Structure 1
Amino acid sequence: MPQQNPARGSRAQQPDTNGPQPPRRLRRADPAKARRKKWIAGGIAGAVLLTAGIAVPLALNSSEGEKVSIAAAATLPPEPEFAYYNQAGPPEGSPLNAVDPLSLDISATTTGTSLPKGLVGLSLEATDLADPAMSGDNPEMVQSLSGLGQPLLRFGGNAVDRRFFWTSANEPIPGHLQGDKAHPVRAVTPADLERVNTLLTALDATINLTVDLGNYDPARAADMAAHADRIFGDRLVGITVGNEPNGYASNGLRDSSWTIDDYFVELKAYADAIYASAPDVAIVGPGVYSHSWWEPFANADLPQKKIFSFHHYPLSTCDGKNDPTGEPILANLMSQNIHDHADYYRGEALKPANEAGLETWLTETGVSACPGSNETTKTHASALWAADYAISAAQLGITRLSFHSSLLTCQGGPPMSAICTGGAYLQPNGVVEERANFFGLSMIAEMAPGQFLQVSEEGGGISHSYSVHHDDGSISVVLVNANNPETDAQMQVSLKLPAKPLTAAMTQMTGASYASEDSTMIDGQKAEAVPVAERLTLPGFAYGSETQEFALTAGTVTVLNFTFQE
């Protein structure tokens, strides 16, 4: 079989035709028409439909919202002088295409879901554990990954069952494992884990390891778990058994008669062996893209703690024939449909986990599982998508998500990867570079944790809005203005807050066009946002007013942080 691209997951990442299929429609928002008013009410797919003045719940298993305490002093201190944010203007020639105004109403009622610390992380190949670049002594890697806050680094991918060999006894690599020049077979030892731990310590990060199930050996997996538990301690948040085992019967790792029942027999053997050597380490699984495996894993009887995980690449109809809306092209990426479909699919995955009382992680994701470059890779559009996908996942109830990436060179390396290395093809020079989608992830990763608040929104063309209440009493509002930065005028926003704000800090991600590959920046720089306390003020900020009126340039992600009287 042809070598798989390490930044795309396995070939079986194609949409699960037997899985839950939403009522898909290719819909680009018409700026001349306001979108139907919607309430983001949390839980699985938090929304209520407003019909004849009656609120009708649409979501199942959603949590009852609770009121948060927000100061509402009758008398405010005198208004200070503010330094205002200099927002990138609309394209030359504006006003161009008008965008319907966006009306937002932020409630003091929570959705029942939270933005957790360490939400955003990267998924890497298991063989990358052996890469010397993964070290706390590598300032390039530390500086780059620190832009994702306190990330979870997940090691797995196609490599783990094909060209990865764990040994704590310096055994020779078995001859049946095969790789190629770009994807060599690598042995990983306790010394490699010790080095990777220095990186985790420098980042205050956590790690999720995957053990080889393709080459059945529970004892070897247990040995790796024992060393990992000793070396990483609390930073080891879980171990996954195999990568996408639902594809084994079709990709040659098992014969065609191998079934889900066989998987659970093997999983139980691995879980028992791992429990004997590292009883406090959770099993994260099943790590698959097939819905028929979700509920059986959620209900599986294993001796240790379980965390539910799945994989998702929404635009993976590579030839566009069976499902044109799933083809990885810009028109699909910048549509309302991809947002709605992703919410539906992830909501379906959450159902069995929630029913079983399990935490849910999305351990491998990206725009597409299709090999090579396409219209969406390396583009500013992918950055807009990544920011929206990350924060919407948290609002649904997912607590960790890892975007599949690679340590290969930017030149000739996987185009979907959020990071890559400088230098000629397969000759890395030590420089770590961030692609556009990395900056979209950083916008969300740098936010403080907190509880999501209910938001009502109307209008705005292709835009999505979120709000988070933080422990310090402040409220963040995230506005993903995915309208076309080349052709669309600024979006007028009317924002209603639940209290009178004293400050309004602003940070913004921008890009020249959907298709641009090197224009994505945060606050005019290719770097993460500065801390909230150092940010400038929203232009047009009305001190002490619950209603804020302002304009946002198309093709941007804006995070506003409002503080209130203590």
Structure 2
Amino acid sequence: MSDYPNSPTPDPAPEETEQGPAQRSRPSPKVLMAAGLATIVVLVGAGVGISALAQDEEPGATPSASSSPSPSAAAVETSSAPTPVPTSTEPLPPAPTVFYEQAGPPAGSPLEAVEAMTIEVSDEPTGTELPSNLIGLSLEATDLADPRMSGDNPEIVASLTGLGRPMLRFGGNAVDRRFFWTSSNEAIPGNLEGDKAHPVRAAGPADLERVNTLLEAADATISLTVDMGNYDPERAADMTMHASDIFGDRLVGITIGNEPNGYPTNGLRPSDWGIPDYLEELKTYADAMYEVAPEVRIVGPGTYAEAWWEPFTQADLQQEKILSFHHYPLSQCDGSNDPLGEPIMDNLMASAIHDRADDYRRAALAPAEAAGLETWIPETGISACPGSNETTKTHASALWSVDYALSAAQIGIPRLSFHSSLLTCQGGPPMSSICSGGPYLQPDATFNERANYYGLSMVAELPPGAFLQNTAQGGGLAYSYVVRHEDNSMSVVLVNQNDPEVAAQTDVTVTLPAAARTSSMTQLAGPSYGAEDSTIIDGAFAAPVPAGERPAIPGFVPGAESVQLPVTAGTVSVFNFTF
């Protein structure tokens, strides 16, 4: 919504802007163990049983909502009939001897009891799928001109590779205010204005060629936004033609204008300009773009106003369309109009934000499904409010990111790009999942990852597959998701959002639709909601351990149809099973 949500003023206060990481946050194949956090324990013997670790139930604990949505027509088609998990006739493998040991509750925690949780996994698909390219990053259009965005920069390649096969979306407010496309080295027009932190930049075909080397190195795709604020359909068509020629199939779509619903209030259009005017200009732009690149899809309207969604789905364009909208759930900056929308920790870690986000996203899916269109969220994050707040850079943002991404995919949204920045960690937007090294406004070629990045990485490491229905009860503030992969293995994801400084471990029972042959586990953890630069995966500031190297779920026995284990609060656990 803003140039960079949670961006600083040009002269930020150090206490609000300096990240100051204790160590580099670099995805690595090595597991660098963090003292007092996740370790691996070796148990010898073939007869390890499944035992319950008793927890005192807390009367009145709030049960979690079921994670079994209705099917979405916009999702990848799946069979309406359930596909049974095959039962292998091969002998069961030996009992595992290496089990995952979680991070424990922080020392001195009150350890308030959490109601035991049961997750019953069904063989019934939801009708939606988890794609391999769900997670993406959204950047400003001016970042196309950044020379660090190159396949020759191993730092940015590693950051993107840790997000699976991401879509890089270039847009933001820069598109219509500080970005100028030229394929003939024209001078930048004088009407474009920037500032020290957000300068005006021009980009041309050579920049797209350089960015394409990054896409190839990271196996990523790209979505672009053309300037509509400064009306020029021919220039947009020229950019589209070059982008199509250079990126080929990696170009997944182009949006015409950034958040056009805001044009009448930001001075880009008269105050009486509205949806009919937008649709007329959209048609002119799209026709010009179709003449030079008819295969490029139009993604839009890219607004945060619901009234614009259905008219876009009905727009008479020659190209294929994809409905898109922007979403920052906690953007009532002072909370005066909507206290539940204020970016504070009590709102972020509450069931209301989960439920409201689902309702809002389903509202966008409805007109798209009626028109037979996909729905994307190419720009999202916790909040679009400027400056730091108590949710930014925190472990809680990692927990939220996992739940937001999986719940979106489960209701039928196949692409999400989390708005980020290439500015420095010191002084740069604190909501950004990545940030560069160097003093404020003097970035170098290195990149760091913040807590929310590791949440996105947990989602990105999941193999694609079909969501299965599951029934979850108890567990306090917790959500579960189940995906059956192409090889018939299964991942059960438990997002335990209970406060790690207060809540005891939750006694969790997962019941499967068939007997499992093997199991493995990976986990994201952190010491508190507000902890900064402390979110780890499998004990390291790194992407998840490769699936084949993960220890077994504690207490798992080959042939079991259920597992029971205590799960630490403030964690995201992925339980993998083969059958």
Q: TM-score w.r.t. structure 2 length?
A: 0.88
2:60 aligned partner, one-letter code: K
Q: 1:480 aligns with which of 488, 495, 504?
A: 495
Tell me the CA shift for residue 31 of structure 1: 5.3
Contact 1:31 / 1:100 at 8 angstroms: preserved in 2? yes
Counterparts of 1:66 and 1:89 in 2: how far apart (Å)?
Answer: 42
**Which position in structure 1 is the counterpart of 2:293?**
278
Q: 2:509 aligns with which of 472, 479, 494?
A: 494
Answer yes or no: is 1:245 the counterpart of 2:272: no
Give runs of aligned pairs for residues 426-465 of structure 1, distance below 5 A.
426-465=441-480
Say which is worse superposed, 86-95 or 285-294, in terms of deviation: 86-95
Contact 1:421 / 1:430 at 8 angstroms: preserved in 2? yes
1:189 aligned partner, one-letter code: G
Give runs of aligned pairs for residues 485-564 of structure 1, distance below 5 A.
485-564=500-579
| DSSP-derived class of the 1:197 partner | helix
Contact 1:388 / 1:464 at 8 angstroms: preserved in 2? yes
**Which position in structure 1 is the counterpart of 2:37?**
none
User: Relative to structure 1, is the Cα distance of residues 242 and 515 closer, same or farther in structure 2, using a 3 angstrom cutoff?
Assistant: same
Tell me the CA shift for residue 83 of structure 1: 1.5
Q: For residues 383-418 of structure 1, what are the alpha-carbon distances to aligned partners after superposition, in whole Å with 9 as ceiling and x for unaligned?
A: 000010001100010000000000000111111101
Contact 2:71 / 2:126 at 8 angstroms: preserved in 1? no
**Which position in structure 1 is the counterpart of 2:430?**
415
Tell me the CA shift for residue 265 of structure 1: 0.5
RCO comparison, higher one (Cα < 8 Å, 6+) = 2
Counterparts of 2:58 and 2:220 in 1: how far apart (Å)?
Answer: 42
**Which position in structure 1 is the counterpart of 2:23?**
none
Tell me the CA shift for residue 36 of structure 1: 5.2
1:212 aligned partner, one-letter code: D
**Which position in structure 1 is the counterpart of 2:317?**
302
Q: Runs of 5+ in structure 2 lacking a partner? A: 8-56
**Which position in structure 2 is the counterpart of 1:40?**
67
Tell me the CA shift for residue 144 of structure 1: 1.2
| DSSP-derived class of the 1:501 partner | coil
User: Relative to structure 1, is the Cα distance of residues 551 and 45 closer, same or farther in structure 2, using a 3 angstrom cutoff?
Assistant: farther
User: Relative to structure 1, is the Cα distance of residues 84 and 36 closer, same or farther in structure 2, using a 3 angstrom cutoff?
Assistant: closer
**Which position in structure 2 is the counterpart of 1:99?**
114
Counterparts of 1:316 and 1:454 in 2: how far apart (Å)?
Answer: 32
Q: For residues 451-491 of structure 1, what are the alpha-carbon distances to aligned partners after superposition, in whole Å with 9 as ceiling and x for unaligned?
A: 00000010000000000000011000000000011111101
Counterparts of 1:467 and 1:286 in 2: how far apart (Å)?
Answer: 32
Alignment RMSD? 1.8
1:563 aligned partner, one-letter code: T
Contact 2:105 / 2:527 at 8 angstroms: preserved in 1? no
| DSSP-derived class of the 1:143 partner | helix
User: Relative to structure 1, is the Cα distance of residues 63 and 41 closer, same or farther in structure 2, using a 3 angstrom cutoff?
Assistant: farther
Tell me the CA shift for residue 75 of structure 1: 6.8
Tell me the CA shift for residue 274 of structure 1: 0.5
Q: For residues 215-244 of structure 1, what are the alpha-carbon distances to aligned partners after superposition, in whole Å with 9 as ceiling and x for unaligned?
A: 000000000000000000000000000000
Tell me the CA shift for residue 33 of structure 1: 2.6
Counterparts of 2:5 and 2:337 in 1: how far apart (Å)?
Answer: 23
| DSSP-derived class of the 1:423 partner | coil
Tell me the CA shift for residue 90 of structure 1: 1.8
**Which position in structure 2 is the counterpart of 1:7?**
5
1:7 aligned partner, one-letter code: P
Counting aligned pairs with the same residue, the percent is 63
Q: Runs of 5+ in structure 1 lacking a partner? A: 10-29, 47-61
Tell me the CA shift for residue 255 of structure 1: 1.0
| DSSP-derived class of the 1:427 partner | coil
Contact 1:99 / 1:461 at 8 angstroms: preserved in 2? yes
**Which position in structure 2 is the counterpart of 1:58?**
none
**Which position in structure 1 is the counterpart of 2:25?**
none
Counterparts of 1:558 and 1:40 in 2: how far apart (Å)?
Answer: 16
Give runs of aligned pairs for residues 138-177 of structure 1, distance below 5 A.
138-177=153-192
**Which position in structure 2 is the counterpart of 1:352?**
367
Counterparts of 1:367 and 1:498 in 2: how far apart (Å)?
Answer: 35
Tell me the CA shift for residue 551 of structure 1: 1.0
Contact 2:298 / 2:320 at 8 angstroms: preserved in 1? yes
Contact 1:381 / 1:514 at 8 angstroms: preserved in 2? yes
**Which position in structure 2 is the counterpart of 1:221?**
236
Answer yes or no: is 1:266 the counterpart of 2:264: no
Counterparts of 2:133 and 2:260 in 1: how far apart (Å)?
Answer: 27
Counterparts of 1:35 and 1:388 in 2: how far apart (Å)?
Answer: 18
Q: TM-score w.r.t. structure 1 length?
A: 0.90
| DSSP-derived class of the 2:70 partner | coil
Q: 2:134 aligns with which of 110, 119, 131?
A: 119
Equivalent residues, number? 527
Counterparts of 2:544 and 2:157 in 1: how far apart (Å)?
Answer: 16
| DSSP-derived class of the 1:537 partner | coil
| DSSP-derived class of the 1:91 partner | coil
| DSSP-derived class of the 1:358 partner | coil
Tell me the CA shift for residue 534 of structure 1: 1.6
Give runs of aligned pairs for residues 373-392 of structure 1, distance below 5 A.
373-392=388-407
| DSSP-derived class of the 2:213 partner | helix
Counterparts of 1:31 and 1:151 in 2: how far apart (Å)?
Answer: 42
Contact 1:31 / 1:461 at 8 angstroms: preserved in 2? no
2:285 aligned partner, one-letter code: Y
User: Relative to structure 1, is the Cα distance of residues 169 and 75 closer, same or farther in structure 2, using a 3 angstrom cutoff?
Assistant: closer
Q: For residues 166-210 of structure 1, what are the alpha-carbon distances to aligned partners after superposition, in whole Å with 9 as ceiling and x for unaligned?
A: 000000000110101110000000000000000000011100000
1:154 aligned partner, one-letter code: R
**Which position in structure 1 is the counterpart of 2:416?**
401
Contact 2:122 / 2:470 at 8 angstroms: preserved in 1? yes
2:67 aligned partner, one-letter code: I
| DSSP-derived class of the 2:438 partner | strand
| DSSP-derived class of the 2:269 partner | coil
User: Relative to structure 1, is the Cα distance of residues 104 and 45 closer, same or farther in structure 2, using a 3 angstrom cutoff?
Assistant: farther
Tell me the CA shift for residue 5 of structure 1: 4.2
Counterparts of 2:519 and 2:80 in 1: how far apart (Å)?
Answer: 25
